[in-house]
Structure 1
């Protein structure tokens, strides 16, 4: 858990994303994860879910796992960077450790990047990874009928695109999804180079590429979250989606503002500050019905 001293240090970190602030976040959270122990008991590395070199995933589980819900995590990185692990750090293996402690199986995946692979490549990669999970996760103690997708930042955009049907019509189902500081409507952030790297420069296509309308129609339970000190566009994205759901008369999804945290710390701190986010995530997962 984060003690008062660590929380005070967190509040001093900038909400902006630069190499310096990213390093400061790593310096704060990495030793805390090392002290607590962050790895799942068993980790199967670099399992291919597609032909591309980046279409790889890790499965985090326990020797006695059987029929456990499955948390599939899709990393961020501004559509142009990132991976399922961050060399020299606990990230994102710490998600697997958190999952194992909460009697889940976790899958962390890497996907193809822009600008070489543009919209809807991310949603397509999520679809392929979910298909792999449906076919193979029982071998690792997971329940293919209780898959929870969780995407952070650009990874959240790819999860949202998947849920909105942007990967095609024959997509395997999921039980629920967590959209953490995700991007839903590229038109709201069209001036950002990384958005244009993935969605392209044809602004007339942005309404078609938006996942808002598809998420309004999505039947899966959703947990939508942003950090208190998040990037301003992430707050606008969440508000746009929630407003669209309210206008359509859809029941309000579970929404959370994660106190004290930044865009980076909200995910780096999973397992350390569960009072802020992890506990609510665990409760959200626990509400899923048992497989009959």
Structure 2
């Protein structure tokens, strides 16, 4: 078995190590992912993982509310997954923010796709209420639409989740790719906080962008439409300094087969936090790719989900 990689942090590092040691990418899947290389390949990766998702709709014992409006824009929508049976205790809440290069993505790829209902089902099966949100897209909605929308979503959850069995004092925000970038910007800049103190018990950042530079923006055709072309604005649109300053507990993850720029961003964030004496919970997932890490949740490939759960559960 390959080692899980560098796992350190002020929050839950020991439990992350224990969880990661027991789970890894199945060998046959790992070989196929390695053959694809360090690319972002949603259709090909979905074909590998969709048959492995543990449940299909209708979901036993789960109350599903779809297309709830949290703001005025067309894409200000969210789905809530909660235990169907009432409980005397309130559950932690997991909000998921999808990726899509700032220009695409949704709560569900299609009615027949398990993504990203898989995140919500994993949350409910592990004693949480799941909230799956969409946000406005670039280039029609450039910076700072992403973190502003995340702020509205967190505010809605804080106000409305009690009626759905959730605990507003234990809200965790999970973002993947562009979603992680939006989550990071929300956490980093207080101007987006509609709830005092961010309203979060923790934030999980999976393969996001944390420092914006001219070199980075030039890598992708979708980045200029979101971040703009004036490089003098990029420092103010970067989350790194605010993440170093925040008191929100952070979990930082990425894939061995992430494209190099994502890996560099992950390493930069971890190293910067550690230099400031605030090492996050940090995991680099061996054998995983940019898409497989998030598609693997709620399958028998528990390498990512076990690590996330170990961060959330002790709190």
Distance 1:57 1:169 in 2: 18
Distance 1:100 1:166 in 2: 30
| 8 Å CA contact 1:38, 1:94 repeated in 2 | no
Unpaired runs of at least 5, structure 1: none
User: Aligned ranges for residues 87-166 of structure 1 at < 5 Å?
Assistant: 87=110, 88-165=112-189
Partner in structure 1 of residue 70 of structure 2: 49
| 8 Å CA contact 2:296, 2:302 repeated in 1 | no
Distance 1:214 1:62 in 2: 35
Distance 2:253 2:27 in 1: 23
Partner in structure 2 of residue 201 of structure 1: 229
Measured against aligned partners, the alpha-carbon deviations of 1:78-111 in whole angstroms (never above 9, x if no partner) come to 0011111111311000101111111111100000
Secondary structure in 2 matching 1:59? strand
Secondary structure in 1 matching 2:107? coil
| 8 Å CA contact 2:155, 2:194 repeated in 1 | no
When the two chains are superposed, the root-mean-square deviation of aligned CA atoms in Å is: 1.8
Distance 1:197 1:166 in 2: 24
Among residues 210, 231, 244, which one is paired with 1:184 in the alignment? 210
Measured against aligned partners, the alpha-carbon deviations of 1:180-204 in whole angstroms (never above 9, x if no partner) come to 0011112151202211111111111
Secondary structure in 1 matching 2:234? helix
Measured against aligned partners, the alpha-carbon deviations of 1:237-273 in whole angstroms (never above 9, x if no partner) come to 11222232233x2321110001110000000011225
Partner in structure 1 of residue 311 of structure 2: 284
Aligned length: 282
Alignment CA distance shift 1:169-1:130 (3 Å): closer
Q: Which has the higher contact order (CA 8 A, sep 6+)?
A: 2
Tell me by how many angstroms 1:166 deviates.
5.8
Distance 1:218 1:265 in 2: 29
Tell me by how many angstroms 1:11 deviates.
3.4
